[in-house]
Chains A and B, each alone.
Chain A
Amino acid sequence: MERKKIWQKAIRVAVFAGLVSVMLSCGTSHKGKIIAVELDGEPGNLDGAQLVLLDPGKPDKESGILVSDFASAASPSLSHEGRYLYFQGKENQGDPWQIYVLDLKKGALSKVIDLPENCTHPASLPDGSVVFSREGSIKGQSVQNLWKCMMDGCCLTQLTHTPARNTFSSVLWEGRILYSSKQLYPEVGDEQLMIMRPDGTKSELYTPGCCGLLPESGGLESPDGYIYFISSDGQLSRVLHRRPLHTFENLSKELGGSFASVTPAADSSCVVSYLPLDGSTYGLYRFDPRMSETPAVLFHGDKHLVDPLIVDVLDPRPRILPSPVDPSKPTAILMIQDINHSGLPVHPEIEGDSLAKRIRISTLEGELGVVEAKDDGSVYVKLDADIPFNIETLNSQGEVLRGPSDWIYLRPNERRACTGCHVNPELAPRNYQPQAVKEDPVVLVSEEMDISQKEEEQAK
């Protein structure tokens, strides 16, 4: 009898435990709902902005604030499994923006990082880390670079190293990070979309926009392979990822009104933040690029609604790319196949030869060194990692033929190569062994580098 009671009790406990675990595993499902930012003021002013949860099935229901106790919250980004919502937030109005994460399943909220500078525009990566934009200063100029850390704030790493505003990142299905970049020093450049691997290596131009329209937001990938973004004057644009430099489309040309943000949906339509010509506030609309019809309203109110995202699971998830970056190695190597292979004309005021014989590499602090090219125009150098530099090509008289280039940087242990200087980016390299790599690289390191390390490099 006693034994029977024990068994009954054990079964009851097991059933209860099972039910609890089922309930816990179910959590709160927001699948299909839309998270957006409701602005308290005008577009561009995030003071008082709040994250709201909207249900497309109940468009008339008042929006619910997703995270309370924040003076401002904005820039939501969802992890690939649809569980973790990253956003930038301010607990008090005077605080710097910081990155937070909300577990949509359990409702748990936590602060990812706590830094003295503004940290904005988080994007979740498939390995569980988050990339975001962090303010800094270079040459007295306020800049923003991309950083990465894990969800608990550990392993903080700077990814980009340029005097620019690097922000609005997103991860593509192939695993690379797309982001918006605008050079700020020494001259202010145009906005352009850049792409890099998630360890910051192999950063390169993705699209500069087209036809006078510059990308003004980050880009987001649709399941059918398009990258959607907002370009100048609130235009909705897209490029085909397979060939981003020559497939620019302005989707809003015939529509009128203004777009503030866009997020592609699983069915290849988009949810857009749109202000119709006759409207007064940005609302959320569904827009199908295949139909070229006026966007259909989803949510519209007295306050602007921007930065929508659809709660969903990304299937397949973005790929996790391996990394050759080794923080213990302070240098990286760069090979240029032919410094005379270029899509740019030489500077018109040149009096000497138009054939480049060497390159000059400069950092923000000034000239780092001049490297002679081999007969085939190839150059092979070892440089400090994580230092912005640019390149000019020089003729035998020392005149600058082309350049300076945009700022480039190499990550620790990165091995980077390019075919030439501003060569058509759609050209694959020619197949020959550059003469320069038959010898050790020319070592050009800045003064800051530890002398002993320098000697070790030279000895090698």
Chain B
Amino acid sequence: MSKRKQTRVRTRLFLGLALVAGLPFMGGCATMGVDPLERGILAQPEMTFEFRANDQAFDDHIYFSKEASSGGRGFGGGGCGCN
């Protein structure tokens, strides 16, 4: 099997497993979490995933142009001739 096919099979396998493993976890999500009144700390800016969005954008741009990997939390490619 070629490397490309292997990667594709691996990707499908991964997505399938993630779906199967994710469904019970989603059920588990229903029992996790806190009441709205306990969300004071989580509402602070530094506790949100969007904190320092400009810095995240700079990071993505720098590492996209200097390393072979990208993506994960956002869009992986395109938009710059730097790589």
Does B associate with A? no
Q: Which residues of A contact B (CB under 8 A)?
A: none
Q: Which residues of B contact A (CB under 8 A)?
A: none
